[in-house]
Chain A
Amino acid sequence: MVEETPWQQALRYANRANPYPFYEELRKTPVARQPDGTYVVSTYREIVTLLHDPRVSSDPRKRPAPAAAQAEGSEEQAAEPIREVLTEPNIITCDPPEHDRDRRMMMPHFVGPPHAPHLISDLEPDIRRIVDGLLDGMKGKNRIDAVDDFAYPLPVTVICKVLGVPMEDEPRFHHWVETALDALDFGPEAASEEIRSRRAGGRQAVQEFARFADALLDRYARQPGPGMLSAMANDNGPEGRMPKGVLASNALLLIFAGHETTVNLIAHSVLTLLRHPDALEKLRRRPELIVPAVEELLRFESSVQFWHTRSAVEDIDIAGTTIPAGAPIFLVYGSANRDPERFTDPDRLDLERRDNEHLGFSQGIHFCFGAPLARLEVQIAVGEFVRRVRNPRLVEDPPPYRHNQIFRGPRHVLVDIDGIRD
């Protein structure tokens, strides 16, 4: 049996809680060809370079079809459930000029009009109310789950409000998202019986999810309602209306991202702070540090560990390697954010880190669409958690992780507490 590459090892479920030693190994070869022909990029400088390289496509449709003989568990096969269903591109899986136009069309409905983009800051009172409610709900408890009781409900409630997705449908699409993501695997375990058996379920979940989005958009087209999706379904802006299929695909992306990334960031923030009592204490004493603290947490435990839809359109020479045209490129943000060539003492949590130009939200034209909302949510949620929860202690370290490798996060973070301050 061939020895596994550091990347393959990093992807193993057993290493989900701590992939960092494998990333360190991986960075010894900044651009590392994998047995399936994927090029995995793990160093900060090379990732930033490729994020700004117009010879890199984000559109998986532009990749050559995988060779028939391609190895089991290859990326193509792994991503199948989602890609097979989502034939229309969304902003994260297309290139300019479509990407730029679609993003320009979406942005005003998310942040507000160009002259006064106030929609995100206007959400602050709502976010505070939700966070207050969640923390109030912990009163009288000795043990909480920072994921189910805190990290999950906030972003989901907010994204539903922003998009105009009925909250009562939430349990359904929660199930779809989880099922789809559990079926997605880029590592050696993709070939396992278990993952293979999940794939059909994953495909079905995405199909149902897509039908749900479709129906919702139809309803809004007939009868406008609140939120971004209705606004876009009825948009008569200068660049016209987004075709329904593209809009549905983007709607799915936003619901996915709204579910996964912010949840993981809040959960990881709580987990990380409980692992670093000094930092927790500092934040309690100096609450204003929540702003740089969230940046450091974005660096320290990136919610999107890597992204998988890019490929080289031309041969690209980088770091002594040539990525051949057509090759898939994975950019491992989680590793770049721990690159000692870029960050001093990268494995140390420093809430006051200067020059923290992390890639927690990526960079370039695909910079995270939801970043302003995510930041606001996490600053408020984590800030209030630190302020109000008395004597929080981690019950289990490491906590159990979810299966997904891209949207890496704990499934539960059990915390013993002594009560909730007002």
Chain B
Amino acid sequence: MTLRATVAELVREFRASGRIVIVGASLAGLRAAETLRGEGFTGSLTIIGDEPYEPYDRPPLSKQVLKGWVPADHTKLPRMREVDADWRLGVAAVGLDRVTKRVRLADGEEVPYDRLLIATGTRARQWPNPDEAALEGVHTIRSRDDAARLQKEFSESPSRVVVIGAGFIGSEVASVCRELDIPVTVVERGSAPLVGALGGVIGGIAARLQRDHGVDLRCGLGVSSLEGDSGGHVRRACLSDGTVVDADVVVASLGSIRNVEWLEGSGLAAGFWGVGCDAGGRAFDINGVVTDSVFVAGDVARAPHVLYEYQFLAMEHWDNAVFGAEVTAHNMVNLEPHYRPHLLLPGFWSGQFGVNIKSVGVPPFGDEIVFTQGSVEDRRFAAAYGRRGRIVAAVTFDHGKWLEYYARLIERSGPFPPPPSGWDQPADTEPMPAEFPDPRVPTAIPDVVLTGHAPSERTAEFRPRRH
């Protein structure tokens, strides 16, 4: 038998009777499982998830669920095909032994694999003071249970809600509060809402948007402590400028933490920014050597991106979970030269205060911004981000139909500023500094992060924020 034939036989054999374990039963885990079956994988498939629920969609949680329109258990994801898997739900993976190729579960069981997909995603960063975090009325929002609990509080007409952190989730929570006519105070360390993801220029627009909708927005401030009553229920937030805000509900939206602790000791390039992998989803070990049997997809993956100087990108985006899972799953049941790259142009959306905010590319990669279409005053516009004369990202407010024009420019490394629109030009068409915060200034972390060039980058160690 030739080597070539042997390799082909190996792939066939693996597809027929290999063992694949997926750790993570959310969007990426589900879509990966479906792709594996779609690719003809008929071996054993085990899906491990720490939550007791079948895969559900998270974006609605901070919007229609929180508003009370959609029940929290109504976001189950549609299935694109049968996956015929052994679902191990409600039990977390707690360890990985790459030598014996086993995943250790919280209940002590060990699950052997031939190939492993890590899709453990992220969790909400909790309020750093554990006693204060334990007060009744203090919430984070990431899971369906979180959303159900917070929605219940909202339905009981709280006197005021304090939102700590004005990233996308925090801003969406504040938006829901105003739609429900609940008084809300938003406290943001940075200079404006969304400043980490979209910079200070757009942040300023977002700030006016929030204030016009009645949000009591306090920027450049932290929350130094939360105080409860004798019954252990939160009653006020003390801000870093000495002011005190009375509130029955506090929502800490401090960004997310990647679920990598279970990989400690596994020798993988796992750390604060996630698990390093190549653009095909193959995990790197701690030395930067690519592994053959461990793969990564979804929020927890960080992979080099051709459009961004091959820097490693961590993307907490819905389409990254979907397409990353599809590409990675394909690669799990193929060998060279049939590997595919995950060349996603990142994109996200956020509906808040009646405005659809959408973006493509990586805004924080840019240092300049220019308004290209529409009216900032009317909050209907498009703007482009640039760096060294090329366009790297774009954002639209209620101008989503134009976004793909900018996506194509970004894909082709088009010029910055981009060619002017033929009509509806904004009042000011001069590029200006995009005003992203110095990385050392604590603010809400954007959900697309450039994390350096080293596959095992760990320099950004977690530093608890003193809010």
Contact = CB atoms under 8 A, between A and B. Distances in A.
A and B touch in the complex (CB under 8 A): yes
Nearest to B373: A54
B423 A54 contact: yes
A175 interface: no
A55 B405 CA distance: 10
A364 B423 contact: no
Given A54-B423, A314-B419, A96 B405 contact: no
Contacts of A56: 422
A49 B408 contact: yes
A56 B423 CA distance: 9
A54 B408 contact: no
A54 B396 CA distance: 13
A96 B419 contact: no
Interface in B357-384: 372-375, 380, 382
Interface in A33-84: 48-49, 52-57, 59, 62
B243 interface: no
B419 A97 contact: no
Contacts of B375: 97
Contacts of A52: 401-405
Interface in A304-357: 312-314
A53 B423 contact: no
A48 B402 CA distance: 11
A54 B402 contact: yes
Interface string B402-415: 11110010000000
A52 B373 CA distance: 12
Contacts of A54: 372-373, 382, 402, 405, 421-424
A96 B424 contact: yes
A183 to B, nearest CB: 30
B315 to A, nearest CB: 23
Contacts of A53: 405
A373 B380 CA distance: 27
Contacts of A97: 374-375, 380, 424
B424 A95 contact: yes
Nearest to A54: B421
B374 A57 contact: no
B420 A314 contact: yes
Contacts of B420: 55, 314
Contacts of A96: 373-374, 423-424
B101 to A, nearest CB: 38
Nearest to B378: A97
Nearest to B372: A54
A221 interface: no
A313 B422 contact: yes
Nearest to B423: A95
B429 to A, nearest CB: 12
A57 B425 CA distance: 13
A364 B423 CA distance: 15
A48 B401 CA distance: 11
A365 B402 CA distance: 8
A100 interface: yes
A59 B422 CA distance: 11
A97 B424 CA distance: 6
A314 B402 CA distance: 17
A95 B422 contact: yes
Nearest to A363: B401
Contacts of B380: 97, 100
B401 A55 contact: no
Nearest to A96: B424
Contacts of B408: 49
A100 B401 CA distance: 12
B359 to A, nearest CB: 16
A193 B404 CA distance: 45
B423 A57 contact: yes
- Interface-central residue, A52, A313, A314, by most chain B CB under 10 Å: A52
Interface in B39-61: none
A52 B405 CA distance: 6
Nearest to B420: A314
Nearest to B404: A52
Given A49-B408, A96-B374, A313 B401 contact: no
A84 to B, nearest CB: 23
A56 B405 CA distance: 11
19 contacts: A52-B402, A53-B405, A54-B372, A54-B373, A54-B382, A54-B402, A54-B405, A54-B423, A54-B424, A55-B419, A56-B422, A57-B422, A59-B423, A62-B423, A97-B375, A100-B380, A312-B422, A313-B423, A365-B401
Interface of B: 372-375, 380, 382, 401-405, 408, 419-424
Q: Which 8 A-B pairs have the closest CB atoms?
A: A313-B422, A54-B421, A96-B424, A95-B423, A52-B405, A55-B422, A52-B404, A97-B424
Given A55-B419, A95-B422, A96-B374, 11 more contacts: A54-B372, A54-B373, A54-B421, A54-B424, A55-B422, A57-B422, A57-B423, A95-B423, A96-B373, A96-B424, A313-B422
